[in-house]
Every structure is written in C-alpha cells, then in structure tokens.
Structure 1
Amino acid sequence: MPLFINRDQIFAHQVHLLEHKLRSKEERILELETENAILHLRLAECLGKLRQDHEEESRALNHHRHQSDAQNITRSSLATLLSDVQALKQDLSEVVAVYVSFSTELEEQSKTLLKKVAQASSPLNGHRGDEVQSLQARVAALERSLEEETERCRAERRRRKELHNAVVELRGNIRVHCRVRPVLPFDHVQSSTSASGPAPSEEVVCAISDDTVMVNCLKTGMPGQNKMFEFERVHGPEDSQDAVFEEVKPLLTSLLDGYNVCIMAYGQTGSGKTHTMMGSQSPAESSTTQQEAQRGLIPQAAAELFRLISEKPAESHTVEVSVMEVYNNEVFDLLAQDEQGNTAGERRDVITTSSGTSQVPSLTHEPVCSASDVMRIISSILRFRAHCPTLVHTESSRSHLIVTLTISSKSPNALALARRLQRAKKDMQHSPHKEWWSPRCRRANPAARYSSDELLASTASSPSRSPAHSPCPSPRHSIAQTPFRTKLQLVDLAGSECVGMSGVTGAALWEVSCINRSLSALSDVLGALAEQRPHIPYRNSKLTHLLQDVIGGDAKLLVMLCVSPTQRFVTESLQSLGLGTRARQVQKEPPRRKNNTLKVK
C-alpha cells in the first residue's frame, strides 16, 4: 500500500521549527541588548570616575593656590605688624623718656613752689595771697598734665600688648630656638669608634648669625659639606643664661592673659639641656650675683611669673606647682607622699578627657607664693629623678622632667564678667551651630532651647531663673565663682644617645631604649602634624600622650634645641637640628585665650 505524505503536517512542522528559531534569535537579541546596556553603564561609570578625578585634581590645585596666596598675605601682614611693633616700641621709649623728664621737672618745680608758698604764708609776706593762688593753680594744671601723660603711657602699653598678641597669633607655628654650648673637657675624649676619623675636639657646629646655625660635615678623604639650619633664634657659646631668657621672656607676657605656654629643651646627652632649664653652680661660685647669673629658664620664668602677678590686683591669682617624671614609658608624680609623709614618686596614668585633652588623675599640686618656693620644692625632689653615669656624661638624666605651674585667675570685678559675656556672645554669632555652654546642658525639648541673645539677656535680667526654664543651670553664679586656669609647662627631656658611644650595659640598655623610643614618638608626632595626616600617633608614648595639648593644641610652644659643637657628636647634633626643622613646619591653630569660653559647673 503506497504511503501518502501530508503536506499540511510538513508545513506545520516547518513553521514550528521556524518559530522556534525565531524565538531563539529574539532571546539572543535580548541577551545582546542586556549586555549592551551593561556595557553602556560601565562606560558611564568610567566616564564619571574620570570626570570626578579631574574635578578633584582641579580642586586640589585651586586649594594649593589659595594656600599659597594665604601664606603670602600672612607674611605681608606679619611684616607690617612687625614694623608697627618696632615703631610702637620707639614711640613708647620716647614717651617714657618724656614722662621721666617731665616728672623730674615737675618735682623740681613743686619743690620751688612749696618754698614760695611757705614764704608767702609767713606774716611778712601776707600781701602776696594772689601770687599763692596763681601758684596753686599752676600746680593743679601741672598735675592734670601729668595724669594725661600717665594715661597716654598706659594706652600705649595696652596697644603694644595687643600688637604683641596679634603677632604671636599670626605666627601660629611652634617656635624653635637653638643653643650651641661651648667645648667642654669631655669633648676631647677620643672614642674607639672615631679613632680613624677627624679630631673629636674640632668644632663643626657654630652659630653664624642670630637665626642661622651651620654644621660642617667632615668625612675622611672627602671635602667638607656645610649644612645650614634656620630657626627663630640661635644662641652661640658666648651667650649667657640671661641672654637666652630674654628671648623666651616675651612668651610669659601673655600667660596671665589666658594663654598656655610650654618651654621644652631637646638634645643629646651632655648638650646642656639641664643647664639651660635649671642652671648650674660650681663650688667656687658662692656669691649671690654669680648664682643669679647661672639661673636657668625654670627659676627665671618662675621669678618673671610672680613679678607679673605682683602688678595685678591682690589675691586675683593663685599658683600651684606639680612635678612629673616620665621614666621607662611610665609617668611618676614626684610630689606624691607615702603613708609616713615621705616624698616618693607614685605611678600615674594619662587619660584623654571628653573634650580631647590629656589629663593626669590624682596628680599632686603644691600651692606656692614666690619663685623661691617653686625652686625649694623642685630642688627637694630632683634627687628622686633617675640619673646614670655614662661615657658621655657623668650625670646623664634617664627620664623626662615636666614642671607645671598652674595659674588660677579670678574675675576682679563685674566689668571683667561683662567683657567675658560679650566675647562669648561674639563667638556664638560667628559660630551659629556651636553648642552653648556644654552639650550636656541642652534640653531634649527643642522648644526649650534659646538663642545666644535671649540667653545673655535672661542671665543678665533674671539671675534667679530656675534651671527648668533655661538651657543651663544657673550660669551666672557659675561664671562668677569659677576661675579660669592657665598652665606654664617647663620640660627637660632626657638626652638621645647612641649605645655604642655611651657605653651602657645591663639594665641601662632598657632605659636607653625607652628614651630613644619616646623621642622617636615625639618626632613621629611632629612629622604627622607637619604633613597634616588624619591620624596623629600621640598614644605611641606616654610622653607624647602627656604633652598632647602642648604639641598639637593651642598653647604657645617653644622648643629649645641644645647641640654640641664638636665632630664627635655631629650625628646627634644633625638629628636634633632635623627635629627642630620638622617642628617649625607644624602649622598649629591660632592660640586662644582660656577666658573666652564660659565655664559652668
């Protein structure tokens, strides 16, 4: 039986195959379109990243240009202010000279007039009453003129003070001074490591001007290379202790105005740090004049502080002293006493408060009333400081000594309180989003928050306002009772040294390691600040953690670099000068007065 082929079935089958192929191609088209869309998205992302990178480069370039312009403007402003200060100093000296001559002339004329008055008041000269009245009127006119001259002199002094603080705020950087000590007998000792090198007594570090020091790097078989370092002030071996303090003294003029001040001595062992900070006295020097000539920065700064306090109203300032030692990366309170009342260094911890400042809990503070009290306390506990003889120095300090003078200043009258309120109001106007008083004083209810003007008006008009109706509890009474505190920190750092040169062995190696690590941490902090890194490694060492407020805060910091002048210690001298150069590159925030911020308990 023949087979018949159904054409309809064949056509239907072919149509089915074609439809299947069509669906497959449509699916393939959808896949290709999806891939195409994904590729377009990736292309758009790449273009966006390129555009963003280009914008960031443009912003960085503009920021660099703005910084350069700002630095140029700051330099020009600083130069103008310095010239104004010089002119003001000259005018002030002329005013003082005129004032002295005028006072002398007035005194002589007063004596003459008193003689004439005595003669006129006698019975024989009773008819000269008119002349006596004219003389009295002249005396009154001269007294009024003297009062005017005195007020003018006070105004000029206030203006000089304001310009001085403005110059300091514009400078803003850490100030670095350098002191090159004279050649000492132990500089001539030939070490085993330098037997084939140049003579160790040859002077290679010298001060060539008031702000420049030169180091002649000598190498065997090679010509010498001179390296120049510039600082704010350079003291040569011939400069006395008084000359060094005269350059530090201007910092103390702002201490009672609410600024924190720190003076730090840095250098290798035997470079003269302790002599610069504490001073020294040889057995032959027994006279008072010779003792005063050898006083270091600490006794002279204490004397200057109490001299400035004596010019202020009585009982408006109180001073407390504390002494700490950082030994083997541990902080010790040298004024702490044991149960028997004997002085013994107690270990303390360093913490960071909620405001970001470092603090030492349970630190001992001793009240003092004069510079002699300060030096008596310091001299009584210096024997507890760690010392160890080395090949470089027979009395090498093995710890960092930190002497802190805390000044508590009270508001002398209601006018000072009103000025502090006005300054706080201006701060709020410049920073509208800044928290008023303290963040913890804010109420949770937004309706209970007041503006700065309303708060100032309310505190001035209604002192008995209840805490439930004000942002902070009783701010008026807290301001009147809470003094503001400033600190003068005087730091004598331990000396950096090479183990091979110092010749220490045994347990002293750990001391050297801790000293060098803490000084390296100080160098790392200065480098991070100079490069403006987001993280500053303050907690790498107890020393940097303790001095966090001074190094990176708003205090006025002066680093005194002490260097040796001979070839034997040229490596350590270069290291100290390099650290000073890094310190000068740190851009700190402008110093702020501590009494600008209202404090509430």
Structure 2
Amino acid sequence: MPLFINRDQIFAHQVHLLEHKLRSKEERLLELETENAILHLRLAECLGKLHLGHEEKTKALAHHQHHRNAEKITQSALTKLLSEVQALKQDLSEVFAVYVSFANELEEQSKQLLKKVDQASLTLRDHNGDEVHDLQARVEALEHSLEEEKERCRAERQRRKELHNTLVELRGNIRVHCRVRPVLPIDNIQFSGPGPAPSEEVVYAISDDTVVVNCLKTGMPVQNKIFEFERVHGPEDSQDDVFEDIKPLLTSLLDGYNVCIMAYGQTGSGKTHTMIGSQPLGEHSGTKQEAQQGIIPKAAAELFRLISEKPAESHTVEVSVMEVYNNEVFDLLARDEQGNAVSQQRDVITTSSGTSQVTSLTSEPVFSASEVMQIVSRVLKLRAHCNTLVHTDSSRSHLIVTLTISSKSPNALALARRLQNAKKDMQRSTQREFWSPRCHRANPAARNSPDKLFGSPSNSPCLSPSPSPCPSPGRTTSPTPFRTKLQLVDLAGSECVGISGVSGAALWEVSCINRSLSALSDVLGALAEQRPHVPYRNSKVTHLLQDAIGGDAKLLVMLCVSPTQRFITESLQSLGFGTRARQVQKVLPRRKNNTLKDK
C-alpha cells in the first residue's frame, strides 16, 4: 500500500455509508412498528363490533384475518431488517478494526519519518554550520546598520525641524500647531441612514507634523486630504506634551519680544481644555491636577520661573483679562463703585504709532503664578456661556488674558559701548594724562599708581572720553525699562446652528462669533496675499489683536480639531484656516526697548 494514501478518509467514508444504511433501516423498522400498532388498534375496534350482527362478524373476521396476514408480513419484514442490522453492525466492527490497524501503522511510519528528518537536520547542521554562522553574523550586521539608519533618520528629522523653525523665525511666519482630541460621548449619536456613521473617526495625526482627513462620501472612493503644520498632537498626547513645544516662546518675553498664543477651532473641539485645563485654576493639591492644567496656568508658572532666575526686582508683571462678546470688548477686571467685580465695556483705538490699545483697561499686579490663576479663575465666572447640544458649557465669547512684563534690565548694547569707551579712555590716559579740572580729588601721586585708578571715590581720579573727563549723571548705565506682552487667547468656537440646536437670543451670539472668525480668516488671507489693505477693523477681535496677527509679535495658533465624521466640515474649515495662517509672512519680530513713560 502507498505510504501517503489517505486511509483515514477512505475508512471514514465507508463507516459513514454503513451508518447511513443503518439509520435508514432503523427508520423503516420504526415505520413498520407504527403501522403494526395502528393495525392492532383497528383490530380492537373490529372485535368491539362483533355484537352488531353475523354479517358484521363475518366482515370483522375477514378484516381480522387480513390484519393477521399484515402482521405476519410485518413480522417477517422486521425479522429481515433485524438480520440486516446485525450484518451492518458486524461490517462496522470489521471496518473499525481495520481503521485501528491502519492508524497504528501510520503512526509507526510517522515516527520513522521524524527520525529520518532529525538525522537529516543533524547532518545538514554538521555540514553547513559555518554558513549558518555567517548568515547570523550578516543578519546582526544588517540589524545594526538598520538601527544606525534609524538613528540617523531621527537626527535628520530633528535637524529638519530645527531648520524649519529657524526658517519660520527668519521669515516671520505664523507658527501653527494642531491638536486632535479623542473621541468623546458627544460624538456617539444614534444614526440609521446611508453613508458613514457620525461617530466614525476620520481625522488622524499620522506623525508629529502631519494630519490626514478621510473624506467619506456615499458611493464615492475615499479621498485623503493631508495637512502639515509645525507640530501635530494626537489624542494620546497630554497637556504637558502640548506645552513642551510652546515653552521656548516664553523665553522670548524676557528677551524683549511680544508673544501671542491663540486657540482656534469649532465648538467642543477642546480649545478651553487646551488653554485653561479641566481642573479649577485655583487648585494645586496634586500632580494629577497640575497635569490637567492648560497653557494659561502653565505659561504663568513658566514665566515666573524664568523671572526667578533673573536679578531680584528686575521684572514686574501685570495681568488684564478681556472678552469680546457680540463684537464688543469687555474688561473683566473692572469694578463698580462698591468694589464689586463687573464686566465693563471698553473701546479699542489705534494709537499714533499704529498699535491697537484698549482705553481704561484695568490691570492688576501679580507676583506669582498662583495669583494669576486665582484672577483668571475669578473672572471666568463672568464669561458668557451657553448650553448647546454639542457642549454643555459652550463659551460664547473670545477670552484674552494679557500678561504685561516690565523689564528693568540695562540696555546691553549701550552698556557694551560705554565699557569699550572706558577701555579706550584708560589706554589713552596711560599715554596722555588729562585730568579734569573739576575733579578736585585729583592727586599727582595717584597718576603713577594704576591700582588706584579703580579705587574708592574718595581717592580715585575720574576718566572721561569727553572734554569734561568726569562722567556726567546723564550718561550712567541706568536701567532702560521696556514692556513686553504675553497674550493668551481662547477664541469662541465656530458652530453650525443645525448641530448645536441653539435658538432665540443665542442665534445672535452664533452670528457674531462666526462673523468675527470669518473676519479673522479674511485678515489672514489679506496678509498671505500681501494686499495693500488689511481689514483689521471689520471685527473687534482682529482690531484688538492687530499687533499680534500682523504686527511684530511671535504668534502661535493652536488648532483644535474634532476627529469624527459628525464634525468633518468644521474640522476641514479649521485645518484650512491653519494652512492659510502658515502662509502669512509677518514683520520680523523686534525687541522692545522703548522707555516707559512716567505716569
């Protein structure tokens, strides 16, 4: 018999046929037994009718005889079926015995084949051991080379990012970061129609600088739209990860540059969570709550940390908070005559220097990050909110928190020039001794003593590069104060009335919000296309943030995007806004060195 004939299948097939015949015979036997029982019932009925008459008795006897004949036939058929069943059982037992013998034989042959395979593998290992070792060495070398290439790729990617940031810095472009929030319960709604489900995730952060949107349409192939930004954060990134890429901007504040961080996106996309956080700003009882803080409290903490590394009392900080509600500017730190907090309307004007300014804006000095957080937490209660189908506490106004830093550091350039002049004067004085006649402390004995040139005021002569050698009070290295601003903006979210479900007075709020955001988009479009006229005054938001959007401040836009199909229209609009913002080439950021005017 051949070695690889599938005997199991053959025997199994035969067993299956025999079992089928056995089942058919048993079914036939049950049918005959049922028929026999029916005949018995009919016989009983006939016997019960014997008293009806002789003819009926004769018929009954004939009928009984007929049934007896049928019973005999049935019994003979049953006997034949029983004999056939016995024969089938005998055949089945024989087939099973043959199957067992074949299985044992196949097991023995399998063992012999395994032994032969082991012997062959041992022989092959003995003959090709060196080749296998060489292959393993080549694999290890390739893996090492792959790791080196990966490391080089990471280094090149980091270098490319640094060069890109430098290019953004030199070209004066707006930095744009994007954050894709996770799927929330508001995304899961009942849907039973054609097309993609509203809760289906279609916006993905595929890398640290790329966002992909799957545009799904019924009966149409999937179209992927790709957007690139300076930094992209996925749903898994924490608040610390988001702030880590923003932290370097805060160092520029103490270097003399204005900075503005703006959160843009639709309602419910996570702007307020990104800017403020999900925990109350006044609470700092644990690291978990601090990890949930947004950009505003973290920026305040980082700012005061940087100030603590500077000389004492070299920087002072003031905070002001405004909101733009229904295209009107309100001062949230204002107070009434009784000293109670009240939202006071203010005007935005353009100064002679071309900068925007809020008249009579209230500012409060702060000395720590906790004071900033307490103030912001207090005024958030005055901010306009509304309950919608998308968000239970939707912000209906644009919130602007401004930290003004007054630096008293000396002008480094002027100080360096004075030191160079002093050095030249000292060298000149060693060749020609010009002592000021006004310097009544000039001592001839001190002329030949260089150690006394920098002695105490009571015995040191005064050197001067001018005809009057003693330095005048107007030329001392006194500090030159200058001011810089950190503006943290939480814009109200754009929304569709059909999705948010607002009505009544809230419709006017939605109209004002969408018009102000459209005005912001128009301003960016005009700046990107370098039009001669930029429509800053079309909205109070753009007029108020004119210095940050088109001025010389370092501006970072944080796009907040929803990931699901339900909000894909607003998500595409937000991503398009960010792409347009990246194309804006602003005025190069300049250091602020204007002297503070005396009040």
Band of TM-score, shorter chain = 0.5 to 0.7
Q: Secondary structure at the match of 1:223?
A: coil
Pairing 1:418–2:401 present: no
Aligned length: 397
Distance (whole Å) between structure 2 residues aligned to residue 582 and residue 532 of structure 1: 13
CA offsets per residue over residues 202-258 of structure 1, 9 Å max, x none?
000010111000001111121111100000000000000000001111111211000
Pairing 1:371–2:402 present: no
Pairing 1:550–2:551 present: no
Distance (whole Å) between structure 2 residues aligned to residue 460 and residue 328 of structure 1: 64
CA contact 1:264–1:560 (8 Å) conserved in 2: yes
Distance (whole Å) between structure 2 residues aligned to residue 483 and residue 372 of structure 1: 25
CA contact 1:482–1:600 (8 Å) conserved in 2: no
Distance (whole Å) between structure 2 residues aligned to residue 84 and residue 457 of structure 1: 55
Equivalent position amino acid for 1:177 in 2: H
CA contact 1:165–1:254 (8 Å) conserved in 2: no
CA offsets per residue over residues 11-36 of structure 1, 9 Å max, x none?
xxxxxxxxxxxxxxxxxxxxxxxxxx
Alignment of 1:214-225 (within 5 A): 214-225=212-223
Alignment of 1:86-105 (within 5 A): none
Aligned to 2:240: 242
Pairing 1:490–2:488 present: yes
Aligned to 2:29: none
Distance (whole Å) between structure 2 residues aligned to residue 518 and residue 262 of structure 1: 18
Distance 1:348 1:463, change over 3 A: farther
Shift of 1:418: 2.2
Distance 1:411 1:495, change over 3 A: same
Aligned to 2:538: 540
Equivalent position amino acid for 1:221 in 2: G
CA contact 1:411–1:417 (8 Å) conserved in 2: no
Shift of 1:86: 6.0
CA contact 2:168–2:174 (8 Å) conserved in 1: no
Aligned to 1:33: none
Which of these residues, 293, 296, 308, is aligned with residue 295 of structure 1? 293
Shift of 1:517: 0.3
Distance 1:499 1:247, change over 3 A: same
Distance (whole Å) between structure 2 residues aligned to residue 230 and residue 86 of structure 1: 17
Aligned to 2:182: 182
Distance 1:231 1:398, change over 3 A: same
TM-score by length of 1: 0.62
Shift of 1:171: 4.3
Distance (whole Å) between structure 2 residues aligned to residue 248 and residue 358 of structure 1: 25
Shift of 1:393: 0.7
Distance 1:420 1:312, change over 3 A: farther
Distance 1:243 1:171, change over 3 A: farther
Aligned to 2:210: 212
Unaligned runs of 5+ in 2: 1-154, 421-464
CA contact 2:483–2:596 (8 Å) conserved in 1: no
Distance (whole Å) between structure 2 residues aligned to residue 481 and residue 304 of structure 1: 24
Q: Secondary structure at the match of 2:222?
A: strand
Aligned to 2:401: 403
CA offsets per residue over residues 371-406 of structure 1, 9 Å max, x none?
111001100110100000011111100000000000
Distance 1:574 1:168, change over 3 A: closer
Aligned to 1:590: 588
Which of these residues, 504, 519, 524, is aligned with residue 506 of structure 1? 504
| Aligned-pair Cα RMSD in Å | 3.1
Shift of 1:480: 4.2
Q: Secondary structure at the match of 1:251?
A: helix
CA contact 1:265–1:559 (8 Å) conserved in 2: yes
Distance (whole Å) between structure 2 residues aligned to residue 401 and residue 528 of structure 1: 24
Distance (whole Å) between structure 2 residues aligned to residue 420 and residue 300 of structure 1: 38
Equivalent position amino acid for 1:253 in 2: T
Distance (whole Å) between structure 1 residues aligned to residue 551 and residue 334 of structure 2: 28
Aligned to 2:76: none
Shift of 1:349: 0.3
Which of these residues, 253, 256, 274, is aligned with residue 255 of structure 1? 253
Distance (whole Å) between structure 1 residues aligned to residue 361 and residue 498 of structure 2: 37
Shift of 1:587: 0.5
Distance (whole Å) between structure 2 residues aligned to residue 458 and residue 318 of structure 1: 39
CA contact 1:278–1:295 (8 Å) conserved in 2: yes
Aligned to 1:384: 382
CA offsets per residue over residues 429-468 of structure 1, 9 Å max, x none?
xxxxxxxxxxxxxxxxxxxxxxxxxxx989998857xxxx
Distance (whole Å) between structure 2 residues aligned to residue 352 and residue 269 of structure 1: 31
Distance (whole Å) between structure 1 residues aligned to residue 518 and residue 215 of structure 2: 23
CA offsets per residue over residues 349-385 of structure 1, 9 Å max, x none?
0000000000011111111111111001100110100
Pairing 1:313–2:311 present: yes
Distance (whole Å) between structure 2 residues aligned to residue 598 and residue 418 of structure 1: 16
Which of these residues, 390, 393, 396, is aligned with residue 391 of structure 2? 393
Distance 1:461 1:266, change over 3 A: farther
Distance (whole Å) between structure 2 residues aligned to residue 166 and residue 564 of structure 1: 30
Distance (whole Å) between structure 2 residues aligned to residue 529 and residue 214 of structure 1: 26
Distance (whole Å) between structure 1 residues aligned to residue 388 and residue 466 of structure 2: 66
Distance 1:480 1:221, change over 3 A: same
